[in-house]
A and B are shown apart, each in its own frame.
Chain A
Amino acid sequence: MCGIVGIYFKKKKLHRQLGQYLSQMLDNMSSRGPDSAGFAVYNNNEKKLFKYSLSINDNSILNKFETDIKKKFKDANVKPVSNHLVLSTLSNPKIVIPFIKKNYHNILIVGYGKSIEIFKEVGNPRDIVKKFNLKNFTGSHGIGHTRMATESAITIDGSHPYSTGEDECLVHNGSLSNHNNLRRQLIKQGKTFDSFNDTEVAAGFISNNLSKNKTLKQTLKNCLSNLDGFYTFIAGTNNGFAVLRDEIACKPAVIAENKDYVAVASEFQAMAHLPNVNKAKIYEPEPGVIYTWGK
């Protein structure tokens, strides 16, 4: 099972609706994944500032973390969102990420970039959407996931979306069979992983390709020849949005597209509430075909 959802706006005036649309899409997919949920929201307001989405296991360290981080990075700003923090600073990820990883074992960096914010949590998607107040988020595109755990434990680090590179994220419905081997190969090439989850490996594989200046399309083409297993993916980058199903295509997906937006979900009912969806072009992504929007 598992439910995946995503929405990409073609018009700027709709950016204010992102949270509202996405929260209901996630809520509608609760039945496919009651164990955990997460979402990534792209809001490209800042040109220079980096945002780091942090999941905090232990609230007692919050005050100390805030003081420490402001001491270390003078321009740092910390915005709490439920049990997550969004840290914004001009400082480069090459400095910030190792600093957090080295000093705070209770803090998980769930994503970073100039545009992306990621939140994920264990529990019922409906509650999670409320907890993070997703309704109030704005942005250009968003991706979400509801998880029915199969191959790794019900934990935050086993929850989607996975972000393994700047402004990159991936949600996955399915299971991969060659992820252990691929993980070893990627570790040899310098990638690091936070979990034993198969999707994190796919995300790492995508990041590794993108970091070699491959386009999103080329990267997903490489997925088709390197990933073994079942998958429907929704991938996001700073300006891009993509959908890919494996060639067997057991895992469902439906796309609704009109002049205003592209919506993707595991089932049509996830998007039944979207405006004018009944008049949109509704189709299933074909097996092994790469669908991209934006850059």
Chain B
Amino acid sequence: MGKIENLDFKKNNLRKINSFLQNISHKNNKRDFVVKNPAGQHAICAGIKEEISITIKGHVGYYCGGMNQKSHITIEGNAGTGLGENMMSGTIHVKGNSSQSAGATAHGGTIIIEGDASSRCGISMKGVEIIVKGSVGHMSAFMAQAGTLLICGDAGEALGDSIYETVIYIAGNPKSLGADCVEKKINKNDITKIEELLKKANIKKLKPKNFKKFGSARKLYNFNIDNVSDY
């Protein structure tokens, strides 16, 4: 191992490939890598700590780019459950669709999904920016705590259920809103933020005015005495 041409799942196993990418020294001049034949395997490029660029040629399985720090990962295919789970920084760019729970509990960085994201996109997100060019499935941004979820298409049922301080921008329509999620007025700061995100994802068809904003009504934050009989 050590040779870049061996980042091929037909020639090496997951542990060897991940370990190579996880241990690249910051002194290394070579910063761009290509991973071949992923064949839907799990945890590809999880736990990378250096600012390197990785292109994955094909579909990946669960938890791709999980716990990522600083690195830029491009997936030329679809991603399985838990894409960029608990990511801290860096970017993940999926050219296809993403399965359930993309960006779950992620603290920072940016996830761009060119296609659709399935259910629970951004579940419990803690600061990440997620940009979905297509639509998201049900229960997206469930218990989302911080960060921004921008959706260019529609959202499934119960968008933003039990949401904390994450902000959701959506160009289409949510099928329904979850508990404590409400539409909010777009202000100047929102316009700036949407512009920034659209630019990041190279989206030219949509303008900030196309988006609606959703967030927490903050009614679940404190115990309401009127609900005492429910307990």
Contacts and interface: CB of A to CB of B under 8 A. Distances in A.
| Binding between chains A and B | yes
B21 to A, nearest CB: 20
A252 B81 contact: yes
A282 B42 CA distance: 17
B118 interface: yes
Interface in A227-281: 249, 252, 254, 267-273, 278
Contact of A268 (B61, B100, B118, B119): B61
A282 B80 contact: no
For the residues of B in contact with A, the DSSP-based class is: loop
B99 A249 contact: no
A268 B78 contact: yes
B172 interface: no
Interface residues of B, number: 20
A253 to B, nearest CB: 10
Given A267-B40, A267-B80, A272 B59 contact: yes
A268 B78 CA distance: 9
Nearest to A265: B40
Contacts of A268: 40, 59, 61, 78, 80
B162 interface: no
Given A268-B78, A269-B61, A282 B97 contact: yes
Contacts of A254: 99
Contacts of B77: 278
Contacts of A267: 40, 61-62, 80
A270 B99 CA distance: 15
B193 to A, nearest CB: 30
Contacts of A272: 39-40, 59
Interface size class of A (residues with CB under 8 A): 10 to 19
A249 B138 contact: yes
A270 B80 CA distance: 12
A284 B97 CA distance: 9
A81 B78 CA distance: 39
Contacts of A252: 80-81, 99-100
A284 B99 contact: yes
Interface string A204-232: 00000000000000000000000000000
A287 interface: yes
A267 B63 CA distance: 13
A283 interface: yes
B123 to A, nearest CB: 12
A269 B80 CA distance: 10
Contacts of A282: 59, 78, 96-97
A287 B81 contact: no
B121 to A, nearest CB: 12
Closest 9 CB pairs of A and B: A269-B40, A268-B40, A272-B39, A272-B40, A284-B118, A268-B59, A269-B61, A282-B78, A249-B119
Interface of A: 249, 252, 254, 267-273, 278, 282-284, 286-287
Interface of B: 39-42, 58-59, 61-62, 77-78, 80-81, 96-97, 99-100, 118-119, 137-138
